[in-house]
Structure 1
Amino acid sequence: MFRWHTRRMPRTARPSSTPAGADSATDGEAGHFPASLLYQAAKLYYTEDATQAEVANRLGTSRATVSRLLAEAKRRGIVRIEVVPPAEVAVGDLSDRLARALSLTSVVLSLPLPTPGPGRSHLDVMGGVLAPAVGRALSAAGLLPGDVLLVSSGRTVYEVAQYDLAPLPGVLVAPTVGGNDQPEAWYQTNEITRLIADRVAGRPNYLFAPALPGPDLYPSLLNDPTIQRVLHLWPHARCALMGVGAPPLMRADIPRFVPTESTSLRAAVGDVCSRFFDRAGEPVEFEGSDRLIAVELEALRHIPVTIAVAVGTDKIDSIIAGARGGYFNQLVTDPATASALLNHLEQT
């Protein structure tokens, strides 16, 4: 797709309707065509859609000379051609640029998020828009029956799980973190595991444990065979789908086990799988985090396909730091967030 522009010549410089000497310039004299003649040839050809033969007839010259006139008109700026990429090409360019900037394997862009209606936020409308893009990322992971797909808790993953994803029959789906004591549905990792398994035709594996058990309960949970069965799946994961949390002390919604009064969390800019990290992507611990039943950040680096799904400008620092830490190698987001990320990276 392209647009062209002809630069209008001053009224006094326009040629008469039957210009003389249009054929008088030889090939070696093409650069000496009068500007008014170049303009008239370009106007006939580009604006009035005349063929080169028709232009030649109107100007009383040959088609070869018309071709030279049009080339010279472009060279001298009388005709300017603008190549306008179609939407799908522009989106592809944005995703490629962002993937390079974040050092990721790929960035998968969804359609733009719709404007939420009255009393609603982008959280209420993002699931249906992000789900097809998440489905494409999961399809590209090449998972086979028996492969392990880990899923995190969080509002974004929960909303995506309400919609159809890629068919992955026989894949083992397991949570990355405990959370059966959390009141919000999006922190109930077993519920998200069930939903995702249903959407991909996989087999759910449930983790019946709180995310942060007390000191007395923690060792007994680790020795429980039903808990061990899920924990032993983690090192064999082929893929992980995770949300990216915004800075913990700036969030209105956060799991109840997170001690927001902890001074160490002031350094945290985000989390994946309830594991927090700072701006450099380094882990941030808090009191009791040694008892957290969740996939370790270091373990995420060794999973072949790690897909983060996140939207919103409040997560820009979180996404950048998570990518910097190597906790995910793919990102699913919307064009607005992608553009904001790229602008931020280019300005820093």
Structure 2
Amino acid sequence: MPSSPDTPAQTSSDSGTFAPSQLYAAAKMYYEEDATQAQVAQKLRVSRATVSRLLSQARRQGIVRIEVRPPDLSDTGDLAGSLAEAIGLQRVYLSAPLPAPTPAKPTVEVMGSFLAPAVSRALTEVGLVAGDVLLVSSGRTVYEVAQFDLERIPGVLVVPTVGGNDQPEGWYQTNEITRLISGKLGGRPNYLFAPALPGPDLYDTLRADPSIQRVLDLWPKARCALMGVGAPPLLRDDIPQFVPTTSASLRAAVGDVCSRFYDRSGARVDFPGGERLIAVELAVLQQLPVGIAVAVGGEKVAPILAGARAGYFNRLVTDPATARQLLESA
């Protein structure tokens, strides 16, 4: 009896098993040489149905391994859009991925250089013009971003969100951050010559001072605020000196913006003496047209989520790794 067309490829017509060489030949032509199943069938002198079985058996035996991977969302922009939708933000701006291998806690110098272009894009898209008020917070991330070039917005009024001229570190001296960002943008700096947490007598004097009050009056008139997001205060190794880290109330705090602390639900967390804090109120931040938070790292995930849901900011600048952690947590 004449042999069937499948004879050359089949070792056992009853079992439907094939020689490894035939499995490899079919798989190589189909997956590596882009041959169609019809072309493979013609080359091996088998039917197309047999080619389908050859390819299936090649996969089962591990001769062919098919890997299904999710798209690189950081490249396509889907990650930014998905994150914004998941946590209720208007926009998310992603920096380039931090250099590999990514340290558990990247240095602020690295973060500043990688985040600055994304911060510049975020500020540009606000559409600020001369005379508009831009609030800036203290913090190491904002301070480091201020060391790098930003697209110019001539004439914008740059205003600090918190006092801090008594702080020893440059990143907690908001007048210094105001000066740096004003210089990069070509803006006009407005300085707040006051400590963040003055004593009772000095507090009353400062609030009555016209130069201080002029700056405070600009806060609710701002079109945009650029702010860092602080990690849980009791877990930080770097925090402004005026924050009483021994205060029991701060155990509930998950983070802060503009030195105003809040818990996981976004509710304000006060500390002893906090009523004298010279800083923009969380309620004012909620009313601003645009609030841009800048934060990177796993320890910032919880405070970013809580701050976003509370409406303290509506846009976010971060890196792809933090964005993925945020999306998983959300």
TM over 0.5: yes
Match of 1:323 in 2: 308
Q: Structure 1 residues 328-337 or 49-58, which shifts more?
A: 49-58
Counterparts of 2:69 and 2:43, CA distance in 1: 31
In the TM superposition, residue 198 of structure 1 has moved relative to its aligned partner by 1.2
Amino acid at match of 1:204: P
For the aligned residue pairs, the C-alpha RMSD in angstroms reads 3.5
Match of 1:147 in 2: 132
Amino acid at match of 1:274: S
Please say if 1:292 is aligned against 2:277.
yes
Aligned residue among 101, 112, 132 for 1:127: 112
Counterparts of 1:75 and 1:140, CA distance in 2: 52
Please say if 1:254 is aligned against 2:267.
no
Query: Is contact 1:15-1:40 (8 Å) kept?
Result: no
In the TM superposition, residue 235 of structure 1 has moved relative to its aligned partner by 1.1
Please say if 1:207 is aligned against 2:207.
no
| 3-state SS, counterpart of residue 343 of structure 1 | helix
Counterparts of 1:257 and 1:339, CA distance in 2: 34
Match of 2:155 in 1: 170
Question: Measured at CA, do residues 304 and 55 of structure 1 come closer, stay the same or move farther in structure 2, by a change above 3 Å?
Answer: same
Counterparts of 1:189 and 1:268, CA distance in 2: 22
Counterparts of 2:140 and 2:261, CA distance in 1: 17
Match of 2:298 in 1: 313
Match of 2:13 in 1: none
When normalised by structure 2's length, the TM-score is: 0.82
Amino acid at match of 1:109: L
Question: Measured at CA, do residues 156 and 54 of structure 1 come closer, stay the same or move farther in structure 2, by a change above 3 Å?
Answer: same
Query: Is contact 2:139-2:228 (8 Å) kept?
Result: yes
Question: Measured at CA, do residues 324 and 117 of structure 1 come closer, stay the same or move farther in structure 2, by a change above 3 Å?
Answer: closer
Question: Measured at CA, do residues 219 and 71 of structure 1 come closer, stay the same or move farther in structure 2, by a change above 3 Å?
Answer: farther
Amino acid at match of 1:318: P
Matched ranges for 1:1-348 at <5 A: 16=8, 44=29, 46-50=31-35, 87=72, 90=75, 92-114=77-99, 121-345=106-330
Question: Measured at CA, do residues 136 and 83 of structure 1 come closer, stay the same or move farther in structure 2, by a change above 3 Å?
Answer: farther
Structure 2 unmatched ranges of 5 or more: 10-15
Match of 1:26 in 2: none
Counterparts of 1:121 and 1:88, CA distance in 2: 22
Counterparts of 2:120 and 2:208, CA distance in 1: 36
Amino acid at match of 1:260: T
Counterparts of 1:286 and 1:224, CA distance in 2: 25
Question: Measured at CA, do residues 336 and 58 of structure 1 come closer, stay the same or move farther in structure 2, by a change above 3 Å?
Answer: same
Amino acid at match of 2:274: S
Counterparts of 2:7 and 2:67, CA distance in 1: 27
Counterparts of 2:77 and 2:145, CA distance in 1: 22
Query: Is contact 1:155-1:187 (8 Å) kept?
Result: yes
Question: Measured at CA, do residues 208 and 14 of structure 1 come closer, stay the same or move farther in structure 2, by a change above 3 Å?
Answer: farther
Question: Measured at CA, do residues 89 and 155 of structure 1 come closer, stay the same or move farther in structure 2, by a change above 3 Å?
Answer: closer
Amino acid at match of 1:152: S
Q: How many residues align?
A: 313
In the TM superposition, residue 166 of structure 1 has moved relative to its aligned partner by 2.3
Amino acid at match of 1:131: A
Q: 1:108-156: per-residue Cα shift (whole Å, max 9, x none)?
A: 11112225899x9522311101111111111111111111110000011
Query: Is contact 1:113-1:122 (8 Å) kept?
Result: no
Question: Measured at CA, do residues 190 and 60 of structure 1 come closer, stay the same or move farther in structure 2, by a change above 3 Å?
Answer: same
Amino acid at match of 2:221: H
Counterparts of 2:53 and 2:133, CA distance in 1: 63
Counterparts of 2:270 and 2:258, CA distance in 1: 14
Amino acid at match of 1:302: Q
Amino acid at match of 1:280: S
Counterparts of 1:233 and 1:72, CA distance in 2: 74
Counterparts of 1:90 and 1:278, CA distance in 2: 33
When normalised by structure 1's length, the TM-score is: 0.78
